[in-house]
A and B are shown apart, each in its own frame.
Chain A
Amino acid sequence: MKTLRTRIADIIEMCALVAVPATLLWCAVRSYEHTALLTLIVALGSVLPFFLRFESAKPRPRDFMPIVVLAALAAAGRIVFGPLPNVMPVTAIVIVAGACFGKEGGFLTGALAALTSNMFFGQGPWTPWQMYAWGLVGFVAGVLFFGRTQSVSLVAVLAYGLLSSLCYGILLDSWHVVGFISPLNWKSALAGYAAGIPFNVGHALSTVVFLALIYKPWIKKIDRIKLKFGITSQS
């Protein structure tokens, strides 16, 4: 049974996740002057509830070690593919993390992979956005696939990989488009988004390839380790 506390935390998390696109939309419609600043702060704020929940949950070390390992793998993978900026294994690994360790685990893996890998790639205003976007990818993967890794078909996972990495790209581009292009009409917005298309398509395709290669074997290995060491997931 879920306690009242976890229920409230769940609701707060949902609100935080919805707040970002909602603010973007509101700013776009109202052509708000300080969009860039406001949305950046909202994105940063939306990540906080997850970390605060992690702080208060007091998890056992062996329950969060997988997050450490997967986030480090994602960051290391991003560094390996550094010369090809649109090939990012992070998205695929975050999806696996979400599928194996639930929505919170997925979110934390994504957000932490973004934050730590940027220590090597360079922090920037994109850091909060990447944290939010990759976190979201892991969160939704957790909602969709957690506990169903045996029954969900690979095609569904691949489709989610494709869609989620496109959404990731659109989210990141939105900050530039909504925040720095004014007045915003469909032509200027299109011009702004168009610049990111080659990048986003490359990212989406590479994610599908990565997922096709690693999803099944990784799930199998992680499931064995979860069983062997009694790792509990989904806080």
Chain B
Amino acid sequence: MPHLTCEKLSFSYPESPAKTIKEISFKVPAGSFCTLCGPTGSGKSTLLRMLKPELCPNGTLTGKRTIFERDIASFAPEESASLIGYVMQNPVAQIVTDSVWHELAFGLENLGVPTQEIRRRVAETAQYFGIQSWFNKKTSELSGGQKQTLNLASIMVMQPKILVLDEPTSQLDPIAAKDFITLLNRIHNELGCTIILAEHRLDDVLPLSDVVLFLREGHLDFQGERQEFARYVYSQAFEYRHYLPVATRISFMAHDRVGKMHEENDVALTRFAFTVNEARKNIETLATDISVKQEARFMSAQETHAHYGTDSPRVLEAKDLWFRYKKDAEPVLQGLSLRVQKQTIHAIVGGNASGKTTLLHLLADGLKPLRGSVKISKGERRGLLSQNPQTMFIKDTVIEDLLEVAGNSAQAHTEALEQLKAFGIEHCSLSHPYDLSGGEMQKAALAKLMLINPSIVLLDEPTKGLDARAKQEFGTLLLRLKAQNKTIVMVSHDLDFVAQYCDECSLIFNGGITSSGPSRSFFEHNTFYTTNAYRATRGLVEHCVVFEDYMRYIKALDKSEGKIER
């Protein structure tokens, strides 16, 4: 029985004549886990908001959208509130009240549920979501992951039949994101709740999905089961490959190779991998001949060795840093030391609340250490880009904001425009900074920062909330800055990004740096805290930390096979 049906659904915003959503038709069966994916700006949020009458944006809507065969627009607010739950992206902005228990009760209070009933439901929900231990806390004291769990719980307390989530994990660190997805899976399996989830980090989500919707530029390019989706991307949407989980991409390569060997190999019969475990099996089937394998492993390992970093002079050094925010508080940093080499991209990784951001602020000279010192080489200048690019803007247009730093001369004006062009956002120069998309705002903030001409750029979680394409663009940007003789220090949760673009990597734990080194060897030494590509290839392929290394291995396989055949 279809639960949610959309037929020829179109939508356009009042200010633009072009349609954001173009004649979309799809069905989501009751009790399914549906993932909506697509590049940023493809209309995912707009589509999700149309499923919730209160949040439906203003504009022209045509076509049919029904839930339980009833038009969505016909739902009364209280019906909609208790039937369709909606979780948004930003964990902070969604929280309404000051205490956890009040937040949980908020929705039920709105629906006029009697106190006794609220008490019961709040208690049982808190139990189910493991909130008891922080039930009496203030919402401002929670971590990002707890905040998003609270947001989910305070929706689930209203017992919705359909749960709509708009990129709920994009602002969370990977561990918290995994926990959140696990929670969603539990809700789906144990309560039979229909889940419609928009997401661009598909590694954890795709293995759980029954239905995948793929949206591109307002068109629904694909709908169906996840294996079919993988086949679709494999054969028809090549440029979308890098959005898929590493595991799936690995099995794509495997299929490519097998396809060369067996002519009759049919895409329609292949089962692609979605988890690391499945991917490992796939890698094992790549070649049967042991000597071929060994030769390829040796060859690819030799090639990757060339990619290790080299020694260069230090530009930034922290020695024995101690820091705490309040008197009598537990120190956040306890004797931390760190060295950053010139013209490298240095990543600082570590769990939530491990003091990464504090360290960055200390390195940027924004905070003064309790003890210890931060030294930079002569003539170096530091520039900090904080987690929220909003903190950088004050004027009404991007260009005015840039000119504020560049000065007001005609020369400054051209310089600022050139800067925008270099960052690929010259079309935004007259927009209000806050009207830009996440990726554009990030770039505009970096463009502004680069105008003070820093030689050391400090970045706090720069890839948060960016989709695969935006990340790639950002990574290229970083490499270009490095080539322009800049040193980059970034704090990040995004291990795949770090492995791909960073030269050095330091792990911060318990107030100090526990390990530091070239990022390749850093990830190769870790079992849990490492990239998906490394997990999938561990013990099978040497030095394979990012997907590109794996491609190198495949090439080496081809070569060695050729050699042996000869």
Contact = CB atoms under 8 A, between A and B. Distances in A.
A contacts B: CB pair < 8 Å:
yes
Interface of A: 217, 220, 224, 228, 230
Contact of A224 (B58, B394, B396): B396
Contact of B432 (A217, A224, A230): A224
6 contacts: A217-B394, A220-B396, A224-B396, A224-B432, A228-B435, A230-B58
Contacts of B435: 228
Interface in B469-494: none
Contacts of A217: 394
A36 B58 CA distance: 54
Interface string B257-297: 00000000000000000000000000000000000000000
A184 to B, nearest CB: 43
Would you list the 6 A-B pairs with minimal beta carbon distance, nearest first?
Answer: A224-B432, A224-B396, A220-B396, A228-B435, A217-B394, A230-B58
Nearest to A228: B435
A228 B394 CA distance: 17
B428 to A, nearest CB: 16
A217 to B, nearest CB: 8
- Chain A contact residues, majority secondary structure: helix
Contacts of A224: 396, 432
B93 to A, nearest CB: 11
Contacts of A228: 435
Contacts of B432: 224
Interface in B425-469: 432, 435
Interface string B384-420: 0000000000101000000000000000000000000
B231 to A, nearest CB: 43
A56 B394 CA distance: 37
Interface in B26-62: 58
Nearest to B435: A228
A224 B396 CA distance: 9
A224 B435 CA distance: 11
B140 to A, nearest CB: 12
Contacts of B58: 230
B106 to A, nearest CB: 12
Nearest to B58: A230
A55 to B, nearest CB: 14
A75 B394 CA distance: 22
Interface string B54-80: 000010000000000000000000000
Nearest to B394: A217
A168 B394 CA distance: 32
A228 B435 CA distance: 10
Nearest to A225: B434
A206 B32 CA distance: 60
A63 to B, nearest CB: 15
A102 B394 CA distance: 25
A217 B58 CA distance: 29
B400 to A, nearest CB: 12
A11 to B, nearest CB: 32
Contacts of B394: 217
A117 to B, nearest CB: 14
A181 B200 CA distance: 70
A164 B432 CA distance: 35
A144 B435 CA distance: 32
Nearest to B432: A224
A228 B13 CA distance: 13
Contacts of B396: 220, 224
Contacts of A220: 396
Nearest to A221: B396
B433 to A, nearest CB: 11
B98 to A, nearest CB: 10
Interface string B502-519: 000000000000000000
A128 to B, nearest CB: 23
A180 to B, nearest CB: 36
B251 to A, nearest CB: 46
A228 B396 CA distance: 13
A143 to B, nearest CB: 29
Interface in B324-341: none
A214 B159 CA distance: 45
A64 to B, nearest CB: 12
A230 B15 CA distance: 14
A115 to B, nearest CB: 14
Nearest to A61: B96
A230 B57 CA distance: 12
A61 to B, nearest CB: 9
A220 B394 CA distance: 11
A217 B396 CA distance: 10
B202 to A, nearest CB: 32
A177 B58 CA distance: 56
A87 to B, nearest CB: 23
B168 to A, nearest CB: 21
Contacts of A230: 58
Nearest to A217: B394
A37 to B, nearest CB: 32
Nearest to A68: B96
A228 B58 CA distance: 12
Interface string B360-403: 00000000000000000000000000000000001010000000
Interface in B169-195: none
A185 B58 CA distance: 64
A32 B396 CA distance: 57
A221 B58 CA distance: 23
B320 to A, nearest CB: 32
A94 B302 CA distance: 68
A224 B394 CA distance: 13
A70 to B, nearest CB: 17
B163 to A, nearest CB: 21
B127 to A, nearest CB: 29
A230 B14 CA distance: 13
A201 B406 CA distance: 40
A180 B435 CA distance: 56
A220 B396 CA distance: 9
A32 to B, nearest CB: 41
B454 to A, nearest CB: 27
A231 to B, nearest CB: 14
Nearest to A220: B396
B492 to A, nearest CB: 30
A224 B432 CA distance: 10
